[in-house]
Amino acid sequence: MRVQHQLKTGSYKAAGFIGDKQRLVHDTVIPYQYDVLRDRAEDTEKSHVYQNFVNAAAALKGEDTGDGFYGMVFQDSDAAKWIEAAAFSLANTPDPELERQADDFIAVIAASQDEDGYLDTYFTIDNREKRYTNLLEAHELYCAGHMIEAACAYYEATGKRTLLDAMHKNALHLYDVFITKGHEGFPGHPEVELALMKLYRVTGDERCFELAKHFVDKRGTDPDFYKKELSRRNWQVWGNDASNNEYQQSDKPVRRLENATGHAVRAVYLYTAMADIAAETGERELYDACVRLWNSITRKRMYVTGAIGSTVLGEAFTVDYDLPSDTAYAETCASCGLMFFASRMLENEVKGEYADVMELAFYNTVLAGMQLDGKRFFYVNPLEVIPGISGVSPTHKHDLTTRPKWYACACCPPNVARTIGAFGKYAYGESEDTAYCHMFAAGEVSFENGLRLECKTGYPYEMEVTYKVTGKGRLAVHIPSWSKKTLFTADVKPCVPIVEDGYAYFDIDGEREITITLDGEPRLIYSTPKIYALTGKACIRRGPLIYCFEGADNGGCVTDIRLEKTAKPTPAGRRGELDNAVMLDVDALKLCFKGEGLYSDTAPKYDKVTARAIPYYTWGNRGENQMRVWADIL
């Protein structure tokens, strides 16, 4: 059924660029986020996540709950994602102090679990009688899903079962509520479905798979469910529109879905579960629906940076080709979710386009979600910002010019941390006889099928990738679609491998050295004219990286840069403070407005200049200034 699957936690030991990012997460991001969750971080939005679990445990004992519950209804999920990030970090870099902190956190979480397996601090502290009465808004199943993911990752990394046993018990509680007792509901925010699939693979308990499939199959079969639920209760969290079924992915059964609609994170989390179940069962109808949704996103509703969700109104998809740069929502979590979806699609069918998008989303939007020092984070990732308008105007208030330290709704920062920590799971996969390299990642990999691999590369800035592979089987390497000229050598001799659906295949018997040289020529990228906001514009790409113009490199202003349609960007050295990134220079024209007043009949003039571009993920690290990905062409 499943043509290949992700690596086990700990099977990849990173080096190079990814190794540097994982060390940053381990050394800076995880400790900082731990302090946030414990309300110890200075000048940072209060979290109270740890204390919520302490207070929930007290409530179960009939003791004083202190200051009660604080934060968003889904506040528990921040703890779960931190534990998951810690698990991946421990698998990569053993750290007794981090493991002690995680164990302590897990003990507090386990103590907050009710006797029947229920675990959610919002309801345990103050609202026990309201359980499962507001699936539309209350995120009980979403929080359970993230905690299940954390439990699986921590068990795989450490072998410790405390959280795994607690969340297995929680899953069986959910099974009792929704299958044995027949609760007719399904998650308002999909997440638990993909988590239950992970729990099924770790525990082998078929009930976890049955429940995951139940939630997927149930969704959309009764489009009026949330309206009925609303009529039965007299309380709400935010007042979500119970009839907006596209927003919550419940307008029709999943196998009939045609277009990616509604809340972008909800969408890709759901689609990930659908693809996972399709890979497990081999069901073609479900996979065909996934393909339609994938095509809807990547061919009509995705930014050039791999970002998705173009409007702040509902953090959502809108309509085909509506991809404005300056009001983009482009949530970091949504691009993490797009990576999850792509990874599961690769388990159904090994096709290069899935790896292409996974790489695009990671190197651009996911990495842009975190400042280079690991201490600040973007929730929203616009493709253009203008100080004084962005973050200020009512229409642009969500598009910030600099990264904040933390958020009251803090889903994105720990999502970035766990995604970077788990990079090996997305970069590499395996089947019974084949090692798959979906993304280039320096380091060492041990596959369960017996193959061993060492990858040496300076990617994404250097374009040569060398694999030393030992064992018996096949090596399958994704060749990105952006590489127009790719050269191969095997054991120091030029070779022409079999290339199928974007993957080059090599036979391994003993020890082989495979080198792949990719086309690193920078080039202009043009959009289809169907994207009205990008008419007459171009952007720059080199390898997996989309570039942008920032005011700090271009005289303070980038909105006046014009590119010739045949311009040839060239590498312009490295920028140490910007992740040692390769900068690009391109001949351009700068518009010089000589008129007076707001409008003028005096024609502007153009001065020849050299415009400098930097990788998009590095923007916003030098203070507030203008930024633009797309420039007008002449």
- Catalytic residues, by residue number, are 315, 411
The amino acid occupying position 182 is G
* Residues β-bridged to residue 464: 517
Which residues make Cβ contacts (< 8 Å) with residue 621, sequence separation at least 6? 371, 372, 373, 577, 578
Q: Both tokens of residue 58?
A: 């007290």
In a 3-state reduction of DSSP, which class is residue 111?
helix
Other Cβ atoms within 10 Å of 234 Cβ, number: 7
Q: Both tokens of residue 596?
A: 């007076």
What does each C-alpha distance from 460 to 137, 289, 336, 338, 456 come to in angstroms? 40, 33, 19, 20, 12
Cα–Cα distance measured from residue 129 to residue 133, given in angstroms and rounded to the nearest whole number: 9
**CA–CA–CA angle 218, 220, 224 (5° rounding):** 110
Q: Which residue has the tokens 């590489």?
A: 483
Cα–Cα distance measured from residue 271 to residue 287, given in angstroms and rounded to the nearest whole number: 10
Evaluated on CA atoms 87, 449, 282, 428, the torsion sign reads positive
Instruction: Check if the beta carbon of residue 309 is closer than 8 Å to that of residue 322.
Output: no
In a 3-state reduction of DSSP, which class is residue 75?
coil
Q: Is 451 left (phi over 0), alpha (psi -120 to 50) or beta?
A: beta
Instruction: Check if the beta carbon of residue 336 is closer than 8 Å to that of residue 366.
Output: yes
What does each C-alpha distance from 466 to 24, 34, 319, 477 come to in angstroms? 25, 37, 42, 11
Instruction: Check if the beta carbon of residue 554 is closer than 8 Å to that of residue 561.
Output: yes
Peptide bond before 460: cis, by omega within 30 degrees of 0?
Answer: yes
